[in-house]
Amino acid sequence: MSSNLVEDKKKQALNIVIMTILIVLTFYLIFKDIPFHELSSIIGRVNPVFIIAALLSEFIFVCCEGMNLRVLIGSFGKKIPVKDCLKYAFVGFFFSALTPSSSGGQPAQIYFMSKDKINTSSALLSMLVMLATYQIVTLFGGVILFLFNPNLVLNAIKDIIPIVIFGVGANIALTLVLISAIFAKNSIERILLFGARLLAKIRLIRNLQKAEDSIRKSITEYHESAVYLKNNISILFKVLCISTTQVASELAVPFFVYLALGQRGHSYIAFATLQIWLNLAVSSLPLPGAVGAAEPCFISMFSLLIVSDLIPVSMLLSRLTGFYFYLILSGVVSYVGYIALQRRKRMDTVSASEESQS
């Protein structure tokens, strides 16, 4: 287990290095031809009220994920404090941002939840339902907003069509896999058993029979929870409403930045349309936080709504308020949460040692 932990830390460090290089290179290429005095002049005119609104919009996005976890895990009989829900949401944000294709968020959340005595099968199902709902809302939202203004979308994506095709295709595939995983007991059991046998072959699992028995027990509990959700549509409807609020708040970030720069003339719907298609295009790319792709795609797409002189600064402020600020904040929350887990583990070890001696 210690070697696995060392490997995980090495991967995280590598992802941080890659992300840092991509950030520096991307922003250098975008801002290298813009005089510093011009850039500082534009930023100096920014209305801080709308920047705060952009930050609050992204905070609502994170809070909605915490609310969904509270609703789903609570429906299985486990009440969790609001502060823990926020912790899991920030952990998910940080590790999703840190890993290619946002693949690390859910495993990290399940790890933290399991350490807080939350049933692993309930945590897994909650994560799958929450992610599937978010994907459904994003995909349907993209279609609906496209129907409202197809010309805006087509003109915006004309220079990045291969990225959009890949991104939309990957999101559709992921949504179908998630939906099938939620209710297909046999499929997910086979996948987990195959994974356990693979890990046993490379000696990461020593007692294969014990692992297989544990998987079968968890899958039974998982399936019972899935059936419960299927028979209680009101819970899924509540999660769907929260996810819709989550997506809508995320899409508001570039619009508030637009207002902060003193621009007027385009509606929230226009910005939401481009932002949701930007998300669909870059969210599945194998880049940590989609860094290196999200920024130039933003400039390409939003040039239809924002004057050319303000496009680089708009991109900078949108990424700062909607991603980088919360990357740092979620990193701090994740670190504090990890330290708390380690302290609790040491205390449990001491207590167990004292009990054995008495």
Sign, CA torsion 265/269/273/274 = positive
For residue 150, what are the CA distances in angstroms to 130, 135, 136, 140, 157?
29, 21, 20, 14, 11
> Is residue 38 predicted with pLDDT exceeding 80?
no
Residues 98-104 have a mean pLDDT of: 75
- Report if pTM > 0.85: no
The predicted-structure confidence for 144-200, as pLDDT tens digits, reads as follows 999 999 999 999 999 999 999 999 999 998 888 777 777 666 666 777 677 677 767
Nearest to 254 by CA among 163, 318, 168: 318
Nearest to 198 by CA among 4, 5, 190, 103: 190
| Radius of gyration for the alpha carbons in the chain, expressed in angstroms and rounded | 22
Q: Which residues have C-beta within 8 Å of that of residue 231, sequence separation ≥ 6?
A: none
Residues 221-250 have a mean pLDDT of: 86
The predicted-structure confidence for 105-116, as pLDDT tens digits, reads as follows 778 888 888 888
The predicted-structure confidence for 255-303, as pLDDT tens digits, reads as follows 999 999 999 999 999 999 999 999 999 988 887 777 778 888 999 999 9
Question: Domain boundaries in the chain?
Answer: 2-357
Residue type for position 37: H
